Structure 1
């Protein structure tokens, strides 16, 4: 987030920085965050419900994610903490490793990843940043829904607080991960909510709506060509 090179008014810069902070929770390339707060769908469960053991939880989550070969949805993303704010837009993922996250309000930003590279385009700043990305799930939460499900158990400790509910909490095994954990809830086999918490104490809730599971997605959705006249930065 030190790659802002154009002059902009302070309000626009503040909004852009907040947006990059929140976009980063999904890309793992900016300020990655993952959640300790339980999604609302899980808070209604009985406190006496027994949790599943780690191996069973990992297998169940793997099955759910394996069944999600592609997905499109609208999202509402809210962060509480030093960079509070709410953003809405659309997203699409397709295995292996294709990802698109498009923020439409209150400002516009597009993140496109295809397994080898990731583009972050900020329309207000007329700036596009290209970064290399890891093709494995690893420490990149953005690829949780588009990467290889078989890698999850290798990179995360998976818990299922309520064995009868499709709500999971993932803790990164890597000691240098920039997040604490990720909570994800499923309903009808679809991921409907993620709650993330970063090492700075910020909590980000992402709610998905108008979810379409395993649709056919045009490959052009995962390609990006910078518009003419924008600054292009390679990282």
Structure 2
């Protein structure tokens, strides 16, 4: 039971990192599109230009989220809601509130998954280099590892797809819905044709975060499980 639960959480973390890296990019990201160049680009058909505008002057995000699996008949399954906080370049706090409270915190070195009901914390090293999704924060590396394509523009929303150039066990294709220079929705399809959807509301750009928001200290008395024989950085 514990292993299955951990695997589900790992899939969720991978998806969250897509949002974080697309929406909260590093300030020194390579090959940025300049303002002058963007004037000569048809934004509605150029995914690089869309993502460049998305990243501009963005260091943090706060939003409400609804997460669910999209079934073949467009029915929603396993609906979860909560709050997410993200800070460049690699920190986030993903707080599930309904139907079950749960907390995932990435502090830049470790990812902590706290299940209060099980009195259990699972911790995994947050190794950017081992996860190809992290390269999306860099224009040059994203073009090296991903095929970017503008899929459509409808009612002010651009849909951009990202397909790994090399086979990926967790992610087959990612779709981003971008409007007003913010990610409003993410769809992630895995190799089993399963689709996970994240919808975001009440999005705040560059909010002031409280000190310690992206740190996690295991509560006294809970079991701490280190994933895959890893020792977390302390």
Which TM-score bucket, shorter chain as reference?
A: 0.7 to 0.9
Give the 3 Å change call, closer, same or farther, for CA 137–149 of structure 1 in structure 2.
Answer: farther
The equivalent position to 1:162 in structure 2, one of 143, 152, 166, is 152
Name the structure 2 match of 1:135.
128
The equivalent position to 1:171 in structure 2, one of 160, 163, 166, is 163
Q: How far is the alpha carbon of 1:173 from its aligned partner?
A: 2.2
Paired residues of 1:195 and 1:205 also in contact (CA < 8 A): yes
The equivalent position to 1:148 in structure 2, one of 124, 133, 137, is 137
Partner of 1:118: helix, strand, or coil? Answer: strand
Q: How far is the alpha carbon of 1:61 from its aligned partner?
A: 1.3
Listed as ranges, the gaps of 5+ residues in structure 2 are 20-43, 228-234
State the Cα RMSD in Å. 3.3
The equivalent position to 1:27 in structure 2, one of 13, 18, 22, is 13
Paired residues of 1:75 and 1:208 also in contact (CA < 8 A): yes
Give the 3 Å change call, closer, same or farther, for CA 211–29 of structure 1 in structure 2.
Answer: closer
Listed as ranges, the gaps of 5+ residues in structure 1 are 5-16, 35-50
Name the structure 2 match of 1:229.
221
TM-score (norm 2): 0.72
Q: Which fold has the larger relative contact order, with Cα–Cα distance below 8 Å and residues 6 or more apart in sequence?
A: 1
Partner of 1:226: helix, strand, or coil? Answer: coil
TM-score (norm 1): 0.72
* CA displacement, residues 87-116 of structure 1 (integer Å, 9 cap, x when unaligned): 000001110111111111111111111221
